Amino acid sequence: MSWWDRAACRDADTDAFYPEGAGLTKTAERLCERCPVMTDCLDWALAHDEVWGTWGGLSERERRQLRVPRRPGRPRVA
């Protein structure tokens, strides 16, 4: 059984994870909060450079911030 088979969003409407417009990810984030495989989902999205939608409870912007390498003393800019 894969992580996807245990995902809380498995049967959810995908529109919640790919909303039209910035800042409309709350529905997906609430579903992710109770998901037993949230970390696996996020790991998959990061490993596959998934740039669209909400994965592992993080929006596109939040995942992009994780990918930006930081240098000590330099603030992160999205």
pLDDT in tens, 51-67: 899 999 998 888 988 87
pLDDT on residue 55: 93
pLDDT on residue 44: 93
**Integer Cα distance of 30 and 66 in angstroms:** 20
**So where are the chain's domains?**
3-67
Residue 2 has pLDDT above 80, yes or no: yes
Tracing tokens 């390498």 back to the chain, one arrives at: 69
For residue range 12-55, what is the model confidence (pLDDT) as tens digits?
888 888 877 666 778 888 889 999 999 999 999 999 999 899 99
Phi and psi for 58 in degrees, rounded to 5?
-115, 140
